[in-house]
Each structure stands twice: as structure tokens, then as C-alpha cells.
Amino acid sequence: MLADITPVILTYNEAANIGRSLERLAWAKEVLVVDSNSTDDTLAIAARFPNVRTVQRPFDTHAQQWRFAVEDTGITSGWVLRLDADYVVEPALRDEIAALAPAGETAAYEIAFTYCIDGRPLRASLYPALPVLFRRGRGRFVQDGHTEKLSIDGPIVKLAHRLLHDDRKSLERWLQSQSRYQAQEAEKLTTRPWSELSWPDRLRRTRFLGPIAVAVHCLFVKGLIFDGAAGLHYTAQRVTADLILSMHLLRRDLDR
């Protein structure tokens, strides 16, 4: 199975993460990195790995970037492993994937995540399980707020082992990204009908309930209060992201 999988990673200034991700992909015949004209050491780090092929494309949207990566870069393998630069494939997950014998109708495999703060794994997070490993030609990328969703045509099977999500970029970079992301989320929340929004998005659209709900859910429902500084840090991140979203929504109210 491993021989028929191409891991694909989108990057932009991911020097803090890309090396750790690529180190765990030595099993792949080819790893495709689609870079959005990074200005740090991302490309230099990627070049150290002999199985990595790098393609550059200016960024427009996540969905468009993923469509290009999967459809227009000459991938010939039957399966694609869709990764971010801060995802790490642990040996147990690699071995589980290696042993797969997919039925003909199987279109994708869903993988859950263990979220890490500076390498410290949390007991839980708000990060959902995703169809990360999919059969080429059976997935369609759709823009959804600041990111993309992968719509799968066919049955999805859940895997037992998890991916690590371990983003070690600076706090300043995280805050800059969140300001941009939450502006796009505000656009989504204010343009979609109420009936099409999930319950978390409905809470966020109230402008004030989102941050409160996130804090309670992270600390007490997910139990992150017991993860010490790492759990509090993650909770603070999620609350801050929702506060930035609320400010974008209120800014729109004031502009109107």
C-alpha cells in the first residue's frame, strides 16, 4: 500500500515544521511539496530529502491550491495522503496504512489527530478527524471559510491510529494568520443562511457566545484543564481565535 501513496504537503514559510514532517515520510517513493513562494528556509529544508519534489504556485485559495496539487502536478499513484506541514505520521500509523488492503469501493480513510503544544500531546482538542488518505479521483476540494473541505465520493473507513498536529511557528505568526483566517470566517458566517450553519457556527455568529462556549468546552468538556500549561495554552489559542472572529463580525456591524 505504501508504494501506491503520494504524500502531498502545502507550504508557506513552514521552516519551523517541515523538517519534522518530512523525516517521517522516508517510506514514500515521492513526497510532493506545493509551496506558495516561501521566503524562509522551507525550500532549503525540503531539498535535503531525496524523495521530495517541490512545485511552486502563488497562493489564491486553499481549495484551488489543493486542486492544483492533486490534479496538475503529474501524480500517478492511486492514493494521496493529504498533509499540512505540521502533521507528523507516527510509525504506528505508517504501519497501519502499510497493512491496508482497500476494497474496490473504499474511497478514503479518515484519521483523527493528537494535538500537540511544543511537542506535548494534549488529551483532546477541537480538531476534527478528517479524510486524509484518499483514492485519487474520488475527492473534490471545496473552499469553506478560510480553509478547504474534501468531499469524498464513496465509503470512508476510519483508521485506529492518529496523526500528530504539532505546529511550532511563533506566536506572532499565529496571530497574523488568525486575523486573516477569521476575516474569511466572518464572511462565511454572514453570507450563509442560518439553516446551513453548524451549531458551533451559530454560536459564533452571536458575536459573544462563541468565546465563552469554546473556553468551557475546552477546559471542562475536553478536560484540558488537566493538561497544565499546554492545555491552558491551547484553550487560550482557541478563545483568542473566536474573539478575533467576534471583532471581525462586530466591525462589519459597525460598518453597516
pLDDT in tens, 80-91: 999 999 999 999
**Per-residue pLDDT averaged across 210-232, rounded?**
98
Q: Of how many residues is the chain composed?
A: 256
What confidence score (pLDDT) does residue 84 get? 97
Choose among 80, 227, 88, 86: nearest CA to 162: 88
Q: Which amino acid is at 220?
A: F
pLDDT in tens, 128-180: 999 999 999 999 999 999 999 999 999 999 999 999 999 999 999 999 999 99
151's grid cell: 468531499
What confidence score (pLDDT) does residue 158 get? 98
What confidence score (pLDDT) does residue 38 get? 98
Please say whether the beta carbons of 158 and 110 come within 8 A. Answer: yes
What confidence score (pLDDT) does residue 135 get? 98
**Per-residue pLDDT averaged across 213-224, rounded?**
98
29's grid cell: 517513493
- 3-class DSSP state for residue 38? coil
What confidence score (pLDDT) does residue 68 get? 98
What is the rounded average pLDDT for all residues in the chain? 97
What confidence score (pLDDT) does residue 43 get? 98
133's grid cell: 488518505
250's grid cell: 462586530
H-run or E-run covering 64: helix 62-71
CB-CB neighbours of 204 under 10 Å: 26
pLDDT bracket for residue 33 (50, 70, 90):
very high
**Domain locations in the chain as residue ranges:** 2-165, 171-255
How much is the CA Rg of the chain, to the nearest whole Å?
19
Parallel, antiparallel or unpaired: strands 130-135 and 139-144? unpaired
Task: Using a pLDDT cut of 90, give the percent of the chain over it.
Answer: 100
pTM as predicted: 0.94
CA distance 103 to 95: 18
**Per-residue pLDDT averaged across 52-57, rounded?**
98
Lookup result for grid cell 497544565:
228
pLDDT in tens, 100-139: 999 999 999 999 999 999 999 999 999 999 999 999 999 9
What confidence score (pLDDT) does residue 189 get? 97
CA distance 121 to 106: 31
Q: Does domain 2-165 have CATH number 3.90.550.10?
A: yes
Choose among 198, 134, 122: nearest CA to 165: 122
